[in-house]
């Protein structure tokens, strides 16, 4: 049956294809360590107990009608306090928009500032910008980043593409890498945006800057989260922040996101989110409003979540470093934030025991799924070339033991390749 050209041309998620393979093996009774999905297993990582109770209480209190289009005022006030206390950012409730998780905020940012054919600049690897460009019929410019920069983009890499662009879309801590901007690198990017905007005349759209910091509360050790508006306050008129509860409270299914930025753009996004009906459920908003200002409870929850996630990431990182020391063609980048680890598994053109030659990162991944019972996502799913033998490992859906037990299996599987 004929559908729209847009629907016909939309690309499905690579990750879903990998999930299909894993599910088939699971159906056959195999136990696969699934490090593919950017989610939590909620039996391993439940949401905060007080948040859960708050949601139950809000339903008992019949908080079940339409929420206000920009979100429950009490939640926008709580988000304003949360941002101020935790990140030193000053945003008033009318500069904040609540939606059903963070995705509608990203999509509505695109819809609010990008026209068909406009240029949108973003790094590869990064998460989903290519799909939003497809939806908008925008010209996505993917800037390939380098392992020596932790796969974070630099001003020098972005600069050649920025002239006339409508949107620069960046994220830190970054999905898929688990790495973050250093202060100086983000400052240089901010200065580049300021310089570009100085060249635009009055009735031209400025270069807007989408800054996705949904993992900002999940940073490890001395790694500090930086944002463009704190570093360069004059950017406040151009930066739209994407943020929310999904990742920092392991609440991906609760669906509460918050975006903030210049009131004019936020107002437009509010209308777009309204037309999509992509609001966050009202009871969840009421509960979140109460929970996120309970500092001791939030701090306690975040400390535990971060230490457990970091222990899993470190176990995988250390395991890969040991394999590397023993001569395997692997590497990993020390985890800085989020729930991800960047892994190199450089075995393309090697031959498996049954004589199959592994062509690219997708083949290596499927080999490891079958042979080592562990699944990652190749960076090619996030926009890099197939020849880039780097992968994302996401640890939220596995226990530490699952990960520790998988390392010897990877060793055996890679030893069989010639
Ligand atoms: C960088 C980034 N931004 C936004 C989102 C979307 O989050 P939500 O589940 O709140 O829509 C994700 C989810 O994986 C993400 O990784």
Q: How far apart are CA 366 and CA 380, in angstroms?
A: 14
Q: Which of 265, 285, 276, 263 is nearest to 71 (CA)?
A: 285
pLDDT of residue 386: 79
Task: Give the pLDDT band (50/70/90) at residue 20.
Answer: confident
CB distance 175 to ligand 1 below 6 Å: yes
Q: Which of 66, 130, 94, 10 is nearest to 269 (CA)?
A: 94
CB distance 252 to ligand 1 below 6 Å: yes
CB distance 246 to ligand 1 below 6 Å: yes
pLDDT digits (tens, 9 = 90+) for 24-35: 888 999 889 999
- What spacing in Å lies between the alpha carbon of 387 and ligand 1's midpoint? 26
With contact defined as beta carbons under 8 Å apart, do 15 and 377 qualify? Answer: yes
20-to-26, 27, 363, 407 alpha-carbon distances in Å: 10, 10, 15, 23
- What spacing in Å lies between the alpha carbon of 13 and ligand 1's midpoint? 14
Domains with residue ranges and CATH for the chain: 5-30+299-415 (3.90.1150.10), 49-294 (3.40.640.10)
Which atom of ligand 1 is nearest to 256's Cα?
10
Q: How far apart are CA 236 and CA 265, in angstroms?
A: 12
Atom 13, ligand 1: residue with shortest CA distance: 38
Asked whether residue 219 carries a pLDDT value surpassing 90, the answer given is yes
With contact defined as beta carbons under 8 Å apart, do 80 and 209 qualify? Answer: no
- Tokens 């997708």 locate to 362
- What average pLDDT does this structure show over 4-12? 84
Task: Give the pLDDT band (50/70/90) at residue 385.
Answer: confident
Q: Which of 182, 9, 125, 101 is nearest to 381 (CA)?
A: 125
Q: How far apart are CA 230 and CA 414, in angstroms?
A: 46
Q: Which residue has the higher pLDDT, 22 or 290?
A: 290
- What spacing in Å lies between the alpha carbon of 327 and ligand 1's midpoint? 36
Asked whether residue 414 carries a pLDDT value surpassing 90, the answer given is yes
- What average pLDDT does this structure show over 353-369? 95
CB distance 101 to ligand 1 below 6 Å: yes
Q: Which of 75, 128, 84 is nearest to 104 (CA)?
A: 128
Q: How far apart are CA 181 and CA 210, in angstroms?
A: 15
CB distance 177 to ligand 1 below 6 Å: no
Task: Give the pLDDT band (50/70/90) at residue 15.
Answer: confident
- What spacing in Å lies between the alpha carbon of 126 and ligand 1's midpoint? 11
- What average pLDDT does this structure show over 96-103? 98
pLDDT of residue 183: 98
Which atom of ligand 1 is nearest to 103's Cα?
11
Atom 15, ligand 1: residue with shortest CA distance: 175
Whether the bond into 125 is cis, omega within 30 of 0:
yes
- What average pLDDT does this structure show over 196-221? 96
pLDDT digits (tens, 9 = 90+) for 156-166: 999 999 999 99
Which atom of ligand 1 is nearest to 127's Cα?
1
Asked whether residue 392 carries a pLDDT value surpassing 90, the answer given is yes
- What average pLDDT does this structure show over 373-396? 94
pLDDT digits (tens, 9 = 90+) for 50-63: 999 999 999 999 99
Asked whether residue 8 carries a pLDDT value surpassing 90, the answer given is no
Task: Give the pLDDT band (50/70/90) at residue 191.
Answer: very high
The string of DSSP letters for 217-244 reads: T-B-TT-----HHHH-GGGGGTEEEEEE
Q: How far apart are CA 236 and CA 250, in angstroms?
A: 29
pLDDT of residue 349: 95
DSSP state for residue 357 in the 8-state scheme? B
With contact defined as beta carbons under 8 Å apart, do 107 and 113 qualify? Answer: no
Task: Give the pLDDT band (50/70/90) at residue 18.
Answer: confident
- Helix, coil or strand: residue 251: coil
- What spacing in Å lies between the alpha carbon of 61 and ligand 1's midpoint? 29
Q: How far apart are CA 380 and CA 387, in angstroms?
A: 8
- What spacing in Å lies between the alpha carbon of 47 and ligand 1's midpoint? 16
């Amino acid at each position: 049956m004929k559908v729209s050209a847009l629907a016909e041309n939309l690309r499905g998620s690579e990750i879903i294809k990998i999930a299909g393979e894993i599910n088939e093996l699971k159906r056959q009774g195999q136990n696969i360590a699934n490090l593919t999905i950017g989610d939590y297993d909620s039996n391993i990582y439940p949401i905060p107990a007080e948040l859960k109770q708050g949601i139950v209480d809000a339903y008992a209190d019949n908080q079940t009608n339409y929420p206000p289009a920009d979100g429950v005022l009490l939640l926008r006030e709580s988000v304003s306090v949360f941002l101020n206390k935790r990140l030193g950012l000053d945003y008033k409730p009318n500069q904040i928009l609540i939606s059903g998780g963070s995705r509608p905020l990203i999509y509505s940012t695109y819809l609010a500032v990008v026209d068909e054919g406009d240029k949108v600049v973003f790094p590869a690897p990064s998460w989903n910008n290519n799909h939003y460009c497809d939806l908008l019929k925008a010209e996505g410019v993917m800037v390939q980043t380098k392992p020596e920069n932790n796969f974070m983009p630099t001003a020098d890499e972005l600069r050649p593409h920025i002239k006339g662009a409508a949107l620069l879309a960046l994220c830190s801590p970054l999905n898929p890498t688990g790495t973050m901007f250093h202060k100086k690198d983000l400052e240089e990017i901010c200065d580049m945006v300021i310089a570009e905007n100085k060249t635009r005349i009055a009735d031209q759209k400025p270069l807007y800057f989408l800054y996705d910091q949904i993992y900002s509360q999940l940073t490890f050790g001395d790694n500090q989260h930086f944002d463009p508006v704190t570093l360069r306050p004059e950017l406040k008129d151009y930066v739209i922040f994407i943020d929310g509860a999904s990742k920092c409270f392991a609440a991906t299914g609760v669906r509460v996101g918050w975006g903030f930025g210049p009131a004019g753009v936020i107002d437009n996004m509010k209308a777009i989110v309204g037309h999509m009906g992509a609001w966050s459920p009202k009871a969840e908003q009421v509960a979140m409003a109460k929970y996120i200002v309970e500092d001791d409870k939030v701090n306690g929850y975040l400390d535990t979540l971060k230490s457990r996630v970091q222990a899993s990431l470190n176990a995988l990182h250390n395991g890969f470093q040991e394999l590397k020391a023993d001569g395997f063609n692997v590497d990993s980048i020390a985890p800085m934030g989020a729930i991800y680890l960047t892994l190199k598994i450089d075995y393309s053109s090697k031959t498996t025991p049954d004589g199959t030659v592994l062509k690219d990162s997708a083949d290596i991944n499927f080999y490891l799924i079958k042979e080592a019972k562990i699944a990652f996502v190749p960076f090619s799913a996030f926009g890099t070339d197939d020849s880039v033998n780097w992968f994302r490992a996401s640890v939220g859906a596995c226990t530490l033991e699952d990960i520790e037990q998988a390392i010897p299996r990877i060793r055996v599987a890679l030893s069989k390749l010639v």
